[in-house]
């Protein structure tokens, strides 16, 4: 049973979220501003917070800072602000993920599940040291297995090799040419598109929203990289 706190000043949105997350595994709490959210946090043991940024009395960012003073519970920000600067601000003050309004129910469910799994299952037991890890993605080279938020993902051999290359060198940008040369061991003349297609597939399999990837980032005009996650 997971306790989830939903916090938004718009009652309709809270209700809609409650309907989407209607699962026997979740116990849902609701708050309509930052102050109420903090009060509930004092009373209950919350495992996940879904919170709007623009709220009366105490906004999401301020609440976020207050929450982080005491706990490292995963926080997903809900926001109508789609600007990059707001997202970066949200992530910098300690948010784990964000969802832009208007949101898709599937996306909300997937992100909530992902965060819960990481927080409760993987967060405590990172025993397998030989496995490569990047956020919620885990690559075990011995068993040739890739786990995304604890669930096994089936990849083709090429996709696996590309992912392994990127995860072994987190933060480093590889041009499509480099990737082709390393994976195919061949001159990439005229076949750079292949790499792009494979990476697109990888993103579709590993990312909740392939257009806004969290792990496998596209550096436009230069190449691809796996974002470093602490």
Sort residue 135 into left (φ over 0), alpha (ψ -120 to 50) or beta.
left
Q: Indicate whether 176 belongs to the interface with another protein (CB under 8 A).
A: yes
Q: Indicate whether 105 belongs to the interface with another protein (CB under 8 A).
A: yes
User: Which DSSP string corresponds to 102-114?
Assistant: S--HHHHHHHHHH
- Closer to another protein by CB, 107 or 140: give it: 107
Q: Indicate whether 101 belongs to the interface with another protein (CB under 8 A).
A: yes
CB of 2 to another protein, least distance (A): 22
Q: Indicate whether 195 belongs to the interface with another protein (CB under 8 A).
A: yes
- Closer to another protein by CB, 186 or 220: give it: 220
Using CA atoms, how far residue 216 sits from 82, 162, 172, 198, 199, in Å, is: 20, 11, 11, 12, 8
Nearest to 101 by CA among 10, 21, 33: 10
Q: Which of residues 112-151 bind another protein (CB under 8 A)?
A: none
Nearest to 7 by CA among 39, 115, 26, 72: 39
Q: Indicate whether 88 belongs to the interface with another protein (CB under 8 A).
A: no
Q: Which of 25, 65, 80, 88 binds another protein (CB under 8 A)?
A: 80
Nearest to 63 by CA among 85, 95, 15: 95
- Closer to another protein by CB, 1 or 211: give it: 211
Q: 103 phi and psi, to 5 degrees?
A: -105, 160
Options 121-129, 144-152, 160-168, 188-196: segment touching another protein (CB under 8 A): 188-196
- Closer to another protein by CB, 75 or 195: give it: 195
CB atoms inside a 10 Å sphere around CB 28? 16
Q: Indicate whether 81 belongs to the interface with another protein (CB under 8 A).
A: yes
User: Encoding tokens for residue 1?
Assistant: 């049973």
Q: Indicate whether 65 belongs to the interface with another protein (CB under 8 A).
A: no
Q: Indicate whether 220 belongs to the interface with another protein (CB under 8 A).
A: yes
Interface characters, 5-34, with another protein (x: CB under 8 A): -----x-xx--x--xx--------------
Q: Indicate whether 196 belongs to the interface with another protein (CB under 8 A).
A: yes
Segment (H or E) for 146: strand 145-148
> Would you give the distance in Å from CA 39 to the centre of its chain?
27
Binding residues for another protein, rule: CB under 8 A, are 10, 12-13, 16, 19-20, 80-82, 101-103, 105, 175-177, 192-200, 218-223
């Amino acid at each position: 049973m997971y306790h989830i706190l939903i916090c938004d000043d718009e009652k309709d949105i809270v209700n809609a979220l409650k309907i989407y997350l209607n699962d026997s595994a979740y116990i849902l709490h609701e708050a309509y501003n930052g102050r109420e959210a903090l009060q509930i946090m004092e009373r209950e043991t919350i495992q996940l917070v879904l919170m709007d940024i623009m709220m009366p009395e105490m906004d999401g960012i301020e609440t976020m800072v207050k929450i982080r003073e005491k706990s490292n519970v995963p926080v997903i920000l809900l926001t109508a602000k789609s600007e990059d600067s707001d997202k970066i601000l949200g992530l910098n003050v300690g948010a784990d993920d964000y969802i832009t309004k208007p949101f898709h129910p599937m996306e909300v469910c997937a992100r909530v599940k992902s965060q819960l799994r990481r927080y409760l299952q993987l967060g405590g037991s990172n025993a397998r040291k030989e496995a490569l890890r990047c956020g919620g993605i885990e690559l075990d080279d011995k068993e040739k297995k890739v786990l995304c938020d604890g669930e096994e993902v089936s990849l083709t051999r090429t996709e696996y090799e590309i992912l392994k290359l990127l995860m072994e060198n987190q933060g480093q940008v590889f041009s499509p040419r480099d990737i082709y040369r390393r994976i195919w061991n061949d001159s990439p003349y005229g076949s750079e598109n292949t790499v792009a297609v494979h990476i697109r597939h990888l993103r579709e399999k590993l990312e909740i929203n392939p257009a806004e990837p969290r792990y496998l980032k596209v550096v436009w005009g230069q190449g691809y990289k796996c974002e470093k996650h602490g």
